[in-house]
């Protein structure tokens, strides 16, 4: 099916609160586990989380890698606000700095990072080049890049089946979001094309489930 873009920023407080309260334990732990598998060496230093939302991935990453400091950027104040209490109570808040910044116009807090991560931002971007330009702009030499996102299914019926299967107990606002996100996501072949266009063809694209892909590698 054709891609159907969704709004970039998650500005609606109701949507943001539902998202922050949703149970992302399994996919977010999988994000960390897949990162570890792809980068088994010790990871320390500054990390940039693009499109950090309420900060759950940033918190899990900081816990998993105690020698890191995570800067998260998100364009939506509602999403940052929705996660503030959880971040404050996380035990790693002193190693997190989540700020409002909208790509591509706003810079990240620091100019260059040895590790750049992102979860579920790519499918929100109307122009996916915004993601890859941000990666290039903020990657230190030899930076690790790890991006995870949804993968667009073959048909609206398949998108509806995935929502019914994986989000049956979630509130309606989240089920609707999930459906729209699946329809807005890219296929692995499209992401490969984006990387080639951005001069990042050295990164690997891999489907890791029936609905997720990862993009990873080390930048020269
Ligand atoms: C689906 S959420 C993912 C949040 C978080 N990474 C997670 O995995 O829980 C996507 C986030 O990207 C943000 N976003 C979308 N477009 C953006 C842009 N151009 N600049 C900065 N943030 C953006 C949205 O506001 C939203 O918080």
**Which atom number of ligand 1 is nearest to the Cα of residue 79?**
27
What is the rounded CA–CA span in Å between residue 113 and residue 94?
Answer: 18
If you measure from the C-alpha of residue 117 to the centroid of ligand 1, how many angstroms do you get, rounded to a whole number? 12
Ligand 1 and 124: CB distance under 6 A: yes
* φ, ψ at 9 (rounded to 5°): -85, 145
For the segment 19-63, what is each residue's pLDDT rounded down to a tens digit? Answer: 999 889 999 999 999 999 999 999 999 999 999 999 999 999 999
Nearest Cα to Cα of residue 118 among 163, 2, 103: 103
Task: Kindly state if the Cβ of 48 falls inside 6 Å of ligand 1.
Answer: no
73: which DSSP letter?
Answer: E
Sign of the C-alpha dihedral computed for residues 16, 215, 187 and 31 taken in this order:
negative
Identify the pLDDT of residue 43.
97
pLDDT at site 47:
98
Domain ranges of the chain: 13-124+135-218
Topology of domain 13-124+135-218 in CATH is Rossmann fold (3.40.50)
Distance CA 20, CA 24 (A): 9
Residues 6+ apart with CB under 8 A from 10: 16, 19, 53, 76, 78, 79, 124
Query: Which of 64, 121, 54, 52 has the alpha carbon at shortest distance from 88?
Result: 54
Spatial distance between the Cα atoms of 94 and 138, rounded to a whole number of angstroms: 22
Determine which residue's CA is closest to atom 27 belonging to ligand 1: 53
The 10s digit of each residue's pLDDT in 163-198 is 999 999 888 989 999 999 999 999 999 999 999 999
Instruction: Specify the pLDDT at position 220.
Output: 83
Lowest mean pLDDT among 17-21, 79-83, 89-93: 17-21
Q: How far is the centre of ligand 1, averaged over its atoms, from the C-alpha of 39 (Å)? A: 24
Rounded to the nearest whole angstrom, what is the distance from the C-alpha of residue 203 to the centroid of ligand 1?
22
Q: What is the mean pLDDT of the chain?
A: 96
The contacts of residue 199 (CB under 8 Å, 6+ apart) are 136
3-state secondary structure of 197: helix
Tell me the HSE value of 55 on the side-chain side, using a 13 A CA sphere: 28
The pTM assigned to this predicted structure is 0.97
């Amino acid at each position: 099916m054709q891609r159907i873009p969704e709004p970039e920023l998650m500005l609606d407080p109701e949507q943001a609160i539902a998202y922050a309260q949703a149970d992302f334990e399994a996919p977010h732990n999988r994000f960390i586990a897949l990162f570890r598998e792809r980068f088994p060496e010790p990871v320390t230093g500054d990390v940039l989380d693009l499109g950090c939302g309420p900060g759950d991935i940033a918190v899990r990453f900081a816990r998993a890698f105690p020698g890191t400091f995570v800067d998260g950027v998100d364009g939506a104040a509602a999403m940052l606000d929705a996660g503030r209490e959880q971040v404050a109570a996380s035990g790693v808040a002193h190693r997190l700095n989540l700020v409002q910044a909208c790509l591509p116009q706003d810079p990240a807090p620091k100019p260059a990072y040895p590790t750049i991560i992102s979860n579920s931002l790519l499918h929100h971007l109307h122009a996916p080049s915004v993601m890859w330009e941000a990666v290039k702009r903020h990657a230190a030499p030899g930076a690790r890049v790890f991006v995870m996102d949804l993968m667009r299914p073959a048909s609206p019926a398949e998108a509806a089946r995935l929502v019914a299967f994986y989000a049956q107990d979630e509130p309606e606002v989240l089920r609707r979001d999930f459906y729209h996100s699946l329809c807005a996501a890219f296929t692995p072949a499209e992401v490969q094309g984006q990387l080639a266009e951005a001069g990042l063809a050295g990164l690997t694209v891999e489907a890791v489930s029936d609905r997720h892909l990862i993009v990873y590698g080390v930048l020269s």
